[in-house]
Structure 1
Amino acid sequence: MDESSIRENRKDEHVQLALTAEKAARSDFDDLTFIHRSLPETNLDEIDVTAKVGNLQLDSPLYINAMTGGSVNTGAINAQLAEAAAKTGIAIAVGSQHSGLRKASLADTYKVVRKKNPAGIVFSNVGADVSTDFALRAIDMLEADALQIHLNVPQEVVLPEGERQFSGMLGKIETLLTKTSIPVIVKETGFGMSFETLSQLQRIGVRYVDVSGRGGTNFITIENERRAEKDFRYLNGWGQSTPVSLLEAQPFLQDMTILASGGIRNPLDAAKSLALGAAAAGVAGSFLKILHTKGTDGLIKEINRWKTHLKMIFLMQGTRSIQDMQRNPIMVTGSLREWCELRGIYPEKLARRKKI
């Protein structure tokens, strides 16, 4: 089997393994608690949940995060996801475009997203190890509004045919920043980010980051299932969760736009992410499973439900905007608080925020 066929088969395997993955019993989001407001003094029609990512205006802080593309089957999934994004008005990111850039016959499995969603906000997606020319071609392929640069070292390490050379990625990202005017979003792939990583990215001028924490689709688990000996099972808990990553990101909120994804199970998790400083919240696995079981119409209904419920949570918090939500107090308890104490993060500041 040639390299192209291996890559196509891998894309299909990823989707099937993601659909059958078991959800964790608990989440670090459970260690975050809003303080109930008995007198919110807010009306539903006063709430504005529009979000900004650079010069991009998002009608909703929810977006369909990078999932797939690169095979006939995954191209069909991208078409359905794009239709749902178009009909609900939320942004959408495609999965890694490497297959479509290397094999012309697979380009349409990504281009279909723009075809089905001509006026929507679309993020293209490539790895951090690619050349500037490769990244710019990915943008052109989709007439993209932003570019995701994904970081996936743990996945590559476990992937039987994966990369093993990771030096020079920061330099490539830094060069790319000077070659395009659209937002360049550096994105993890389900392993979260730390203060140290964010510091590295800030030093080279990165302004947009998706922390993409542990808790959703686990690519160590997925790639390990593709290994004959399944010998990396002990790494299944690797990485930082999305709440941990957002707490690690607190010192960077003034200078960087932080996006949250990874294990966001419901609109409450999305609201908690916004309260911790995220500009928007991305969902992948949860939406993929709805699409698989209920089709495009079912996913459209689910996304609209999330949008409505998110506004209801804002209403209960007496919050009229995302900026307001980021001033609301939120409690950090349990193992999440223990992480903060050991890392020198002070969650008391979040609990004592005053919004009257």
Structure 2
Amino acid sequence: MTADASNEHQRRKDDHIALAGQQQLAPVARNDFDEVEFVHHALDGIDESRVRLDVRLADLTWPMPLYINGMTGGSDAATRINRELAITARETGLPMACGSMSITLRLPETADGFRVLRDENPDGFIMANLGAGRSGDDARKVVDLIGANALQLHLNAAQETVMPEGERAFSGWARSVEQIVAAAGVPVIVKEVGFGLSRRTLLRLSELGVRIADVSGSGGTDFVSIENSRRRFGDYAFLAGYGQSALACLLDATGEGGPELLASGGVRSPLDVVKALALGARAAGVAGVFLKPATEGGAEALVPLVQRWLTQLRQLHALLGAAEPSELRHTDLLLRGRIKEFCELRGIDPSCFSHRRDEAPPSRTSQPQASEPTSGGPNER
């Protein structure tokens, strides 16, 4: 590859960082997370000390239902950000993913921008990242490069459609997914990049051997808008907001079959995380909200933010009477607005989510222990 082509690839990575950061500077917008509300049951709370945040995900165990989603890599600026994210993951225990590593297959000299993740976080859970359409050999290369524990395999047809230099041959992607799942040597987590995975897609992924999928819906970083900003005429503005939200995808996936689910896209707070968990996600991924502190203040700013999120997650579990993340699936939810309309159009009864507590099994830790006094506090049943 020529020096000009190399510089162009790295400029594209830096453009993505800058444009994603600009989206984060905009006033906080409503998204579909705001259309979901917990029914408050004032006597259902449990002690915060009884909450466990660890989760099972297929054959994996994560210490919390939260992870740093893939953001960047492949330029000097991206390397600096990846270093701060890796330090944050090391200090907090968060699993993390890197940005797309396809650039390392074209430009081996960019590899250190990804190796820094393992250099700074030698014992952490790190996900490599590659786009669909690649080979099993490519998958093994990027996994080996950073000693990855898993591989994120992203589907980004909408982004590629608008990207000025995008690849638009999509018909071989399913076969590529199947080959990569078989060859990667680590768990493969198929994800979107902000446009959502439908029930049809999830069932197809299961047939291809995928056991874990990140629905990664709209409402967060909008890669259509990012790529459109890089076009000379900005002539794809009509596709801004394309796709379905993470919560819509989780609702669409309700039922038997399909991979175990992660959720990302538009997650702005710990409350959004517990809403995703309540609708069936095993964990929720965050990218955009963590990008600004990682860029401006580094790990010194981001570590305390993540620690606050983890504390607030435990407190929200206690408030909602959930001793562990899976018990949030028995909370009562009110679905309103666009989410309610989506359910109705997809043949899902939105009212059934408002009475789940009635059929829920009792929490393993919602009752006082025999040795404990039963009259010491008003928020134990």
TM-score with structure 1 setting the length: 0.97
Deviation at 1:169, TM superposition (A): 0.8
Does the alignment pair 1:47 with 2:31? no
- Per the alignment, residue 275 of structure 2 pairs with 272
- Per the alignment, residue 328 of structure 1 pairs with 331
1:180 & 1:40 partners in 2: Cα distance?
44
Q: Please give the per-residue CA displacement for 1:217-250, whole angstroms capped at 9, x wherever unaligned.
A: 1000001111110111111021001111111111
Does the alignment pair 1:186 with 2:190? yes
CA contact (8 A) 1:85 1:92 kept: yes
Structure 1 residue ranges, 4+ long, deviating more than 3 angstroms after superposition? none
Deviation at 1:24, TM superposition (A): 5.5
Deviation at 1:3, TM superposition (A): 2.5
- Per the alignment, residue 15 of structure 2 pairs with 13
- CA distance 1:79–1:257, change in 2 (3 Å): same
Deviation at 1:184, TM superposition (A): 0.5
Counterpart pick for 1:107 among 96, 106, 111? 111
Q: Please give the per-residue CA displacement for 1:317-349, whole angstroms capped at 9, x wherever unaligned.
A: 011001211122212111210110011012222
CA contact (8 A) 2:137 2:183 kept: no
1:335 & 1:117 partners in 2: Cα distance?
41
- Per the alignment, residue 231 of structure 1 pairs with 235
Deviation at 1:5, TM superposition (A): 1.7
**More moved, 50-59 vs 146-155:** 50-59
2:135 & 2:51 partners in 1: Cα distance?
43
Alpha carbon RMSD of aligned pairs, Å?
Answer: 1.3
- CA distance 1:247–1:60, change in 2 (3 Å): same
* Unaligned runs of at least 5 residues, structure 2: 363-381
CA contact (8 A) 1:24 1:215 kept: no
1:290 & 1:345 partners in 2: Cα distance?
39
State the identity as a percent.
43
Counterpart pick for 1:295 among 298, 301, 310? 298
CA contact (8 A) 1:11 1:68 kept: yes
Code of the aligned partner of 1:18: A
Deviation at 1:41, TM superposition (A): 4.5
CA contact (8 A) 1:290 1:298 kept: yes
TM-score with structure 2 setting the length: 0.90
Select the structure of larger CA radius of gyration: 2
Counterpart pick for 2:94 among 83, 90, 95? 90
Secondary structure, aligned partner of 1:111: helix
2:29 & 2:326 partners in 1: Cα distance?
31
2:29 & 2:334 partners in 1: Cα distance?
21
- Per the alignment, residue 162 of structure 1 pairs with 166
Does the alignment pair 1:307 with 2:305? no
CA contact (8 A) 2:228 2:237 kept: yes
2:297 & 2:317 partners in 1: Cα distance?
28
Alignment of 1:55-74 (within 5 A): 55-74=59-78
- Per the alignment, residue 373 of structure 2 pairs with none
CA contact (8 A) 1:100 1:108 kept: no
CA contact (8 A) 1:151 1:189 kept: yes
CA contact (8 A) 1:78 1:109 kept: yes
Secondary structure, aligned partner of 2:129: strand
How many pairs were matched up? 355
CA contact (8 A) 2:205 2:258 kept: no
Q: Please give the per-residue CA displacement for 1:122-179, whole angstroms capped at 9, x wherever unaligned.
A: 0000001101100110110111111000011111111111112111111111122222
Deviation at 1:181, TM superposition (A): 4.1
Deviation at 1:4, TM superposition (A): 2.1
1:153 & 1:29 partners in 2: Cα distance?
24
- Per the alignment, residue 262 of structure 2 pairs with 259
